Amino acid sequence: MNLLNFIVRRLLLMVLVLFGVLCIVFIIANVIPADPIGALLGGNAPPEVVDEYKKKLGLDKPLAERFVSYLLGVLRGDLGVSFRTNRPVLEDIKKFFPATMELAIAATILSVILGIWLGVASAVNRNKGIDHFARVFSILGVSMPVFWTGLLLLLIFYYKLDILPGPGRLDIFLTPPKRITGSIVIDSLLTGNWEALKNGLLHLIMPAFVLGYSATASIARITRASMLDVLRQEYITTARSKGLEERKVVRNHALRNALIPTVTIIGLTFGSLLEGAVLTETVFSWPGLGRYITNGYLVLDYPAVMGGTLYIAFIYSLVNLIVDIIYAFLDPRMRV
């Protein structure tokens, strides 16, 4: 019906946007001048070698031709071959992305639960202790640089106190579970590898917290604001005048209305999570897509960078699409 109509419209728009994303990525990698061959071979490689590399990498062809062949490649699922790893970029993404996803999902779960709880608690107890605490906690969350928080936590909880494991997804001496989904937690659950599960979860705690902190803060803040707004609405007075307990007024009447804007912010914070993942993965030596892209940038590994960036933009758009659909579903007024 109308919801379906809305989804189809959003999907078409997404296709258009993704085409634009591809153009932007291609322009960044091919038009903005920088010297990929120089970065690969060093500044003073003999011209014959440079030419040979250019030919090999297809950089000698005209720009338009390169664009068309890249576009066709992407449509076939061929993102080219990484200069650095010499593997197809798609293979690399398949290898690294599950680690990013695991981290991002853990951080999302953490931030949604903690953020909504904090937001509701501080709205209901406005200007009381918990409210002040939540405000300070939130404002610190959006102010501290992710990479610095990560380093500090590593220093304290790993190097000094040694109560949490250090960088990486698993202790070095531990055999990882057989790769099924690429998520250590899920794979070790599936294979019944309890030791790896425990170790993997412990390794997740710090990076997930670091990554989720600023998202928690934004979610708590928007939930508080919308909860305060909802609690002023007349239907809340109606619910109270029915003789409903305040706890139930909050849970049954206010929460669902208040969560509508929160859902939108969750989509937005997922973007900041992907951003933060780049930094968090670098700090915690987490073998994810963010680190793959960063390393790609440092040596101008264009196929890897283009593919990785394209992929991240794709995931980000997809999440926002899902959020829009959930939004439409939550608010019956949207479905008309």
Partner 1 sequence: MRILGIPVPESYKPMIEDLKHTMYLWRKSRLTMVGTIIVLAFLMVAIVAPFVAPYDPIEQNLKEKLLPPSREHLFGTDQFGRDIFSRVLYGSRIALWIILLVSLISGGVGTMIGVFSGYFGGIVDEILMRITDMFLAFPGLVLAMAFAAAMGPSLTNTIIAISLVYWTRYARLARAEAMRVKNMEYIEAEKAIGASHLRIIFLHVLPMCISPVLVQLTLRMGTIILTAAGLGFLGLGAQPPTPEWGAMVSDGRNYLVDQWWISTFPGLAIAIVVLGFNLLGDGIRDMLDPRLRR
Partner 2 sequence: MEDSKLLSVRNLRVIFRTYRGIVKALNGVNFEIGREEFVGIVGETGCGKSVTALSIMRLIQQPGEIIDGEIIFDGTDLLKLSEDDMRKVRGKEIAMIFQEPKVSLNPVLKVGTQLKEAVSIADGIPQKSREAEEKVMDILDAVGLPDPKGLMNKYPHELSGGMAQRVMIAMGLLKKPKLLIADEPTSALDVTIQAQILNLIKDLVSKFRTSVLFITHDLGVVAEYSDRVVIMYAGNVVEIGDVYTIFRNPVHPYTKGLLNAVPRIGQREPLETIPGIVPDLVHPPSGCRFHPRCSKAMEVCSKEFPEMVEVEKDHFVACHLFTRGEKNG
**Which partner in partner 2, partner 1, none is near 113 (CB below 5 to 8 A by kind)?**
none
Which residue, 65 or 246, has its beta carbon nearer to partner 2?
A: 246
- State the nearest-atom distance from the C-beta of 258 to partner 2, in Å: 10
Token reading at 12: 């078409």
Q: Is 241 among the residues that bind partner 2 (CB under 8 A)?
A: yes
Handedness of CA 43, 47, 49, 55 (dihedral sign): positive
* Among candidate residues 334, 316, 306, 314, the one with its CA nearest the CA of residue 269: 316
DSSP for 132-185 reads: HHHHHHHHHHHHS-HHHHHHHHIIIIIIIS--S--SSSS-TTSPPPP-SSS-HH
Told to check if 286 binds partner 1 by CB under 8 A, we report: no
Q: Is 294 in the site for partner 1 (CB under 8 A)?
A: yes
| Residue (of 311, 303, 297, 295) closest to 66 by Cα position | 303
Nearest to 110 by CA among 251, 208, 244: 208
Rg (CA), the chain: 24
Site for partner 2 contains 226 (CB under 8 A) = no
Instruction: Please name which of 23, 40, 15 lies closest in space to residue 302, comparing C-alpha atoms.
Output: 40
CB of 143 to partner 1, least distance (A): 4
235 belongs to the binding site for partner 2 (CB under 8 A): yes
Q: Side-chain half-sphere of 265: how many Cα atoms within 13 Å?
A: 23
Task: Please give the biggest Cα pair distance in the chain.
Answer: 86
Binding partner at 241 among partner 2, partner 1, none, C-beta below 5 to 8 Å by kind: partner 2
Round to whole Å and give the CA distance between 311 and 110. 24
Give which of partner 1, partner 2, none residue 249 binds (C-beta under 5 to 8 Å, depending on kind).
none
- Our finding on whether 240 is near partner 2 (CB under 8 A) is yes
Report the run of H or E that residue 70 belongs to, with start and end.
helix 63-76
Please report whether residue 304 would count as binding partner 1 according to CB under 8 A: no
**CB nearer partner 2, residue 61 or residue 126:** 126
Does 16 bind partner 1 (CB under 8 A)? Our answer is yes
Of 7, 28, 41, 244, the residue at the interface with partner 1 (CB under 8 A) is: 28
The answer to whether 314 touches 270, Cβ cutoff 8 Å, is no
| Span from 161-169, 190-198, 242-250, 272-280 in contact with partner 2 (CB under 8 A) | 242-250
Q: Is 336 in the site for partner 2 (CB under 8 A)?
A: yes
Residue 282 binds which of partner 2, partner 1, none (CB < 5-8 A, kind-dependent): partner 1
Question: Which partner in partner 1, partner 2, none is near 171 (CB below 5 to 8 A by kind)?
Answer: none
Among 78, 229, 275, 331, binds partner 2 (CB under 8 A): 331
First-to-last alpha carbon distance for the chain, in angstroms, is: 10
**Least distance to partner 1, CB of residue 256, Å:** 21
d(CA 190, CA 178): 9
By beta-carbon proximity to partner 2, the closer residue of 40 and 244 is: 244
Counting contacts by CB under 8 A, is residue 159 touching partner 1? yes
Tokens at 308, concatenated? 């990785």
Q: Binders of partner 1 among 225-264, rule CB under 8 A?
A: 229
For residue 308, give every residue at least 6 positions away whose Cβ sits within 8 Å of its Cβ, in sequence order, or none. 89, 92, 93, 289, 292, 293, 296
By CB under 8 A, name the binding residues for partner 2.
126, 232-235, 237-246, 252-253, 256-257, 330-333, 336
By CB under 8 A, name the binding residues for partner 1.
13, 16-18, 20-21, 23-25, 28-29, 32, 34, 135, 139-140, 142-148, 151-152, 154-155, 159, 229, 271-272, 274-275, 278-279, 282, 293-294, 297-298, 300, 305, 309, 312-313, 316-317
